[in-house]
Amino acid sequence: MTDSPLFEYDKSVRALHPVFCGLDEAGRGPLAGDVFAAAVIFEDGVYIEGIDDSKKLSEKKREALFEEITQKAAAFCIATASVEEIEKLNILNAAMLAMKRACEGLKIKAEYFIADGNKLPDLGIPGDALVKGDGKSASVAAASILAKVSRDRYMKEIAEKYPQWQFEKHKGYGTKLHYEMLDKYGESPVHRPSFLKKYYEKKQQ
């Protein structure tokens, strides 16, 4: 075993809740594409070097950790909520729905969960919201990596379908390039209309 604070944190949780999952989402902020979530269960004694909040890791490091997490996790599940669901429910509720689907898709039933952030998804089991959880818990950090890598891969697939918007470069986030592509081509079928309201208002001024 190691002295990694993230794995030590999980060990302390596991002392009270032997089978718990970490939950996180990716893609709440972008202007386009589905929101992704992942759930991860680690058994006691598992250690993966370098696990951390996905935002602190390079793309190459995240990809390598993705493979190791999916090999070493006792169970994991990656789930999504669609652009249509984001528009219907709002992005927060859609992210909670994706987390619920990820938890329910685990091949081992979790008896407890820790979700990154300050909102608790309704999963029908006890759990806690942990602010900056992806920098505190190994399971939550692992979930953040699985969700982020999966969403980035999905955005690259979308880029092949809708090449003019260059999704492979900005992953749907509101970058200068992305707004330039919106100015040039308008919105694609995978854009989130509610996220573009300010953009349209600004254009009309």
DSSP secondary structure string for all residues of 187-205? --TTB-GGGGHHHHHHHH-
**C-alpha dist (Å) from residue 39 to 31, 43, 144, 148, 157:** 24, 14, 9, 12, 23
Separation CA 100–CA 24 (nearest Å):
11
Query: What is the arithmetic mean of pLDDT over 138-154?
Result: 98
Q: Could you tell me if residue 163 is inside a domain?
A: no
Which pTM does this prediction carry? Answer: 0.96
35-41 and 20-26: which strand pairing?
antiparallel
Q: Where does the pLDDT of residue 2 fall: very low under 50, low under 70, confident under 90, or very high at 90 and above?
A: low
Q: Could you tell me if residue 69 is inside a domain?
A: yes
Q: Could you tell me if residue 187 is inside a domain?
A: no
Which pLDDT tens digit goes with each residue over 76-98?
999 999 999 999 999 999 999 99
Percentage of residues of the chain with pLDDT beyond 90: 93
Task: Map residue 139 onto helix, strand or coil.
Answer: helix
Beta partners for residue 99, in sequence order: none
Domain extent, residue 144, equals: 5-154
Q: Could you tell me if residue 120 is inside a domain?
A: yes
CATH assignment of the domain containing 51 = 3.30.420.10
Q: Could you tell me if residue 23 is inside a domain?
A: yes
- List all residues 6 or more positions away from 110 whose beta carbon is below 8 Å from its beta carbon: 19, 20, 21, 39, 41, 103, 125
Instruction: State how many domains the chain has.
Output: 1
Which pLDDT does position 204 carry in this prediction?
A: 84
